[in-house]
Amino acid sequence: MHELDGVTSGQQTKSLAVSTIAFTICFAVWTIFSIIGIKIKQNLGLTDTEFGLLVATPILTGSLSRIFLGIWTDQFGGRIVYFVLMLATSVSVYLLSMVSTYPMYLLAALGVGLAGGSFAVGISYVSRWYDAGHQGTALGIFGMGNVGAAVTNFGAPFLLIAYGWENVAKIYAVVLFVMAIIFWLTTQEDPFTKARKEKGEKVRPALMQLEPLKHLRVWRFAAYYFFVFGAYVALALWLPRYYMGVYDLEIATAGMLAACYALPGSIFRALGGWMSDKIGARRVMYVTFLGCLTILFFLSYPSTEYTIHGINGPINFSLEIGIVPFVILTVFLGFFMSLGKAAVYKHIPVYYPDHVGAVGGLVGMIGGLGGFILPICFGFMNDVIGVWTSCFMLLFVIVGISVIWMHISIVLSDRKQHPELKAAKSLPEMMHGLDENYP
């Protein structure tokens, strides 16, 4: 990748690699309740709504904290914020093993959720190491840390069976603590923060960092992320329960199949970042939304039995998605979502290079709230409607609204665009990026 002035490719690679590994571990911690929550549900006899709230609570903290962590990262630098965040979270995860009542589990889950805030810190820290033309690829690689959800869905069931869920929490806490130390010892201050400190520049006030949030464009990006990230997290948390309920699988098998969804939802984020650099994030978002809309249409269809009154008597047949096609469809769903996650964050350093932390934090917060709200909705819809596929019906509606909003905004933008802006093609997004009235 292209080197910034005074920054070597070795420094770029090391910062990106260590940050990505740290984010992977943080993400694994963040989704720990997708597995241990099932055991807690059995022990306490929770309803699906209560279970949905339990697995979603860490997502709430991780979401709400992102905007503040993003601002602090812009102010003080990503290295110190990342380090302190991992240390604090490791303590919360260890304490999780010491509680026994549902209200206390919810309280402990709030502390565990701090791990999710690491995304806003890492996005700002990593983006400062690369020029605008390569930030999409770099952030896509960093975003592959979402694979932590697959790590938890695949590995945590075996740890739970072998050692009990309490020891799963302790193991995760120790691993995160060690990663914090490794991160501090192997990384450096990002070049932007380092240069600012050397020049003695004052830190921008928090309110100034929040100034770009008045643009509707920022909130539209956040709405996209509500689905591509929020729904990704929600399904990573919900699918083990879904597999056990619909297909009567054991927890280890359910966890592995859920990992089949979570894995492509993570590893192809780098591809999404590269595609965004090459063809533009907007085109990638169209691919994402249209692909997800098609897949969710099939996943939404409930298992149904039909009776046709034929000439020679009733003709019975049924429609349902077997486990093999269901797994295949979720794999492709995860793939398209991974492209979209990278595309959304490609926009931010291009449009708001001086406010990556604040804008990225807001977008990440709204996306994370999707991971909090949706599992609760899934559980509630199960309890009230009584149809397992209702979760996919809800996601279908969300994607439909998102793609319509995006298309209308782009059409309106094209009509407003000034002729002189059409020549600004240094980056695919910049054709419209110079117009502050762009919706």
First to last CA, the chain: 32
Here the CATH number for the domain that contains residue 52 is 1.20.1250.20
On whether residue 3 sits in a domain, the answer given is: no
Tell me how far CA of residue 158 lies from CA of 151, 250, 253, 280, in angstroms.
Answer: 11, 12, 10, 41
Token digits of residue 323: 């486990």
Q: pLDDT for 293-334, tens place per residue?
A: 999 999 988 877 777 777 777 877 667 788 999 999 999 999
What pLDDT digit, counting tens, does each position of 22-41 carry? 999 998 998 888 788 888 88
Closest CA to 51 of 63, 60, 42, 59: 42
Answer whether residue 194 is part of any domain: no
**86 CB-near residues (< 8 Å, 6+ apart):** 22, 26, 115, 118, 176, 177, 179, 180, 183
Rounded Cα–Cα distance for residues 102 and 367 (Å): 26
pLDDT tens-digit readout, 103-112? 888 888 888 8
* Domain total in the chain: 1
Helix axes 232-246, 390-416, angle to 10 degrees: 160
The answer to whether residue 197 sits within a structural domain is: no
In a domain, 291, yes or no: yes
Residue 308 host element (H or E) = strand 304-310
Q: Is residue 5 included in any domain, yes or no?
A: no
- The domain of 70 spans 17-189+203-306+316-433
Is residue 429 included in any domain, yes or no?
yes
Q: pLDDT tens digits for the chain (439 residues)?
A: 445 556 677 888 898 999 999 999 998 998 888 788 888 888 888 888 888 888 888 888 888 887 788 778 877 888 899 999 999 999 988 988 888 888 888 888 888 888 988 888 888 888 888 877 777 778 878 888 878 877 887 788 888 888 888 888 899 999 999 999 999 999 888 887 777 777 766 655 555 555 656 677 788 888 899 999 889 888 988 898 889 888 888 888 888 898 888 888 777 877 888 888 788 888 899 999 999 999 999 998 887 777 777 777 787 766 778 899 999 999 999 999 989 988 887 777 777 776 666 777 778 788 878 888 898 888 888 888 888 889 999 999 999 999 998 888 877 765 555 443 343 344 444 444 434 433 4
The 10s digit of each residue's pLDDT in 111-146 is: 888 898 888 888 888 888 887 777 777 887 888 887
For residue 423, count other CB atoms closer than 10 A to its CB: 8
